[in-house]
A and B are shown apart, each in its own frame.
Chain A
Amino acid sequence: MRKPWLKRLAHASEPWLYSAPSLILIIAVMLVPLVVGISYAFRDIQLLNPFSGGFIGIEHFRDLAKDAAFYTALKNTLWWTGASVILQFFFGLFLALLLDKPFWGRGLVQALVFLPWAVPSFLAGLNWAWLFNPVIGPIPHWLFALGLMDQPGNILSDPRHAMWGPIVANVWWGIPFFAITLLAALQAIPRDLYEAASIDGANWFQRFRSITLPFLAPTIAITVLLRTVWISNFADLIVVMTGGGPADRTQIVASYIFTQAFKRLDFGYASAIALVLLVLLLVYSMLIILLRQTLLNKD
């Protein structure tokens, strides 16, 4: 009688044993501080004010609703995230397809094109800010020579186009991420399928549509989901390259939180903004997960 019971317990606890180290870390270092952080959104937490810390209810959110800079940041976040993810994804997918074909020197090429990912984001930001700088960078002079600019100026201080600076830096930095993940998924597709399809007379596009895409779809869904969320939370490049300027034209929600938390040391207000962003991203993720579920169920 006892043995099957013990066996059942051992069987039921097995997945938990595998997951335990990860779960303990996540709960202790992320979930608990998250709850504490959410409580900050309803408190008056200013690092330099020793009398702060009191509970103030939804006052931060009332301020937020009237905060014009927040709405600008929200709009900029959509633009920044959308453009970055789409460009990274298509360039990344194309690169993965190029690298999926065997050719001489592929290992070296892979190492070279994936290298930007190894560059610290902070340094990547400075590097691109430098490239866009008309005094010492080449890009303004190239744009001028192509007739795209009236005179070699700094795109980062041009209110109309400033956002393209961090976006280009982000695309450069993020292509390898998509390429690596998609390449790994491509390599896992059984080669016989392609051979069989070729024998049946399918051309490249037909093979891509009916073999490659269905196999990649789950990977694409999860990568795009994670990437979108990461990029909308990713303030490093903007903070380093423009600091949100000129005139808040490149200020995204994440960099706005950064400004509130680190320059004004207002952790309470920063947490309130972060909470709003969190809710928006959760809604977005739910939609994507539902989409993925329906796609998977269709097969």
Chain B
Amino acid sequence: MKRSVLPTIAHRLAILCYIAFALFPLFWLLKVSVTPNDLLYSEGVRLWPSRTTWDHYAFVLQHSAFPTFFKNSVIVAASTAVVVTICASLSGYALSRFSFRAKYLIVALMLLTQMFPLVMLVAPIFKILSPLGLTNSLTGLVIVYTAFNVPFATFLMQSFFDGIPKDLEEAAMIDGATKFIAFRQIILPLTLPGIAATLGFVFTAAWSELLFALMLINGNSAATFPVGLLTFVSKFSVDFGQMMAAGVMALIPAALFFLLIQRYLVQGLTAGAVKG
């Protein structure tokens, strides 16, 4: 009996350590965002301030373009995640299931895109998108972010496809289905965890991107949330309370999205285990 209890306790303790490490900075963010300005420095190291206030939130919501930034970021991140997942499922499937001569060329091309510093692309992309009217537009951002995220998402999807036995679609094709129907109706549902993981990665990546958003967007109307936060830093450089309040609000969609994906992930994995 004792032999099985000890590892379990160690396991739970280790899990608790991870949770504490993961959540403490976020807890601190929340704490600072509800600390009144006059207590910010005097009670800086306390775990919770003696008084709390929602003033920082109220200011951010009423006196800044933050609601617009928020909306723009949701549009950009969600569109990017969906488009990337569709493209990456297709190309990941191609890399996993077909053997064709140019395959290594495609893999090399995709690896290459992961190698170079994206800073290098800022000026050329600006010059290419500008005559197309795609600077200062959310569509332009979605196109750029999609291209940036497709290579990694492709590798991710490929590894999920690799984990599914080939016999499954071969059986379907013997039954008369075309390869594409087999892909859509048999293989894709089995890779739901992979699709969920891809959606999650891409959404958060697009949600966080700062560099290209800064270069391609000017003015508040099409600015995304990281650009908005940077405006906060430069305009109200010492007002950490407001910045952290904005940060907490920006965390909410990402956190919710992750919680949803999480449940889905576990569900998909369990379903897969039952079938396997």
Which positions in A face B, CB cutoff 8 Å? 12, 14-16, 18-19, 21-23, 25-26, 28-34, 36-38, 40, 45, 47, 94-95, 98, 101, 103, 106-107, 109-124, 126-128, 130-131, 135-138, 141, 172, 175-176, 180-181, 184-185, 187-188, 190-191, 218-219, 222, 226, 229-230, 233, 235-236, 253-254, 257-258, 261, 267, 270-271, 274-275, 277-278, 281-282, 285, 289
A131 to B267, CA, bound (A): 36
Q: Please, which residue of chain A has its CB at the minimum distance from the CB of B145?
A: A29
A191 to B167, CA, bound (A): 19
B102 to chain A, nearest CB (A): 8
| B58 CB contacts on chain A under 8 angstroms | none
Q: A33-B121, A136-B41 are in contact. Are A172 and B21 (CB under 8 A)?
A: yes
CB of B188 closer than 8 Å to a CB of A: no
The one of B28, B90, B100, B265 that contacts A127, using a Cβ cutoff of 8 Å:
B28
Per-position contact with A for B256-276: 1 when CB-CB < 8 Å, else 0?
A: 011100110110010011001
Q: How many residues of B contact A (CB 8 A)?
A: 100
| A230 CB contacts on chain B under 8 angstroms | 114
Q: Please, which residue of chain B has its CB at the minimum distance from the CB of A27?
A: B109
Given contacts A36-B127, A138-B45, A235-B119, list 18 more A-B pairs with CB under 8 A: A15-B98, A15-B100, A22-B88, A25-B150, A98-B15, A98-B18, A115-B255, A120-B207, A120-B254, A123-B226, A127-B244, A137-B44, A187-B272, A233-B118, A257-B117, A261-B122, A270-B120, A277-B117
The one of A14, A25, A40, A115 that contacts B143, using a Cβ cutoff of 8 Å:
A25
CB of B243 closer than 8 Å to a CB of A: yes
User: B123 and A29: CB pair below 8 A?
Assistant: no
CB of B26 closer than 8 Å to a CB of A: yes
The one of B19, B118, B150, B204 that contacts A113, using a Cβ cutoff of 8 Å:
B19
User: A122 and B208: CB pair below 8 A?
Assistant: yes
Counted as pairs of residues, one from A and one from B, with CB atoms less than 8 Å apart, the total is 263
| A32 CB contacts on chain B under 8 angstroms | 124, 128
Q: A14-B98, A19-B91, A191-B273 are in contact. Are A270 and B119 (CB under 8 A)?
A: yes
User: A136 and B40: CB pair below 8 A?
Assistant: yes
A188 to B194, CA, bound (A): 11
B200 to chain A, nearest CB (A): 8
| A271 CB contacts on chain B under 8 angstroms | 120
User: B240 and A118: CB pair below 8 A?
Assistant: no
| B240 CB contacts on chain A under 8 angstroms | 130, 136
Which positions in B face A, CB cutoff 8 Å? 11-12, 14-15, 18-19, 21-23, 25-26, 28-29, 32, 40-41, 44-45, 47, 86-88, 90-91, 93-95, 98, 100, 102-103, 106, 109-125, 127-128, 143-144, 146-148, 150-152, 154-156, 159-160, 163, 179, 193-194, 197, 200-201, 204, 207-208, 210-211, 225-226, 229-230, 233, 240, 243-244, 247, 250-251, 254-255, 257-259, 262-263, 265-266, 269, 272-273, 276
B107 to chain A, nearest CB (A): 9
Q: A32-B128, A229-B114, A261-B119 are in contact. Are A122 and B194 (CB under 8 A)?
A: no
Q: List 10 A-B contacts (CB under 8 A).
A: A21-B86, A26-B151, A33-B121, A110-B265, A118-B204, A136-B44, A180-B197, A226-B152, A257-B120, A274-B116
| B47 CB contacts on chain A under 8 angstroms | 138
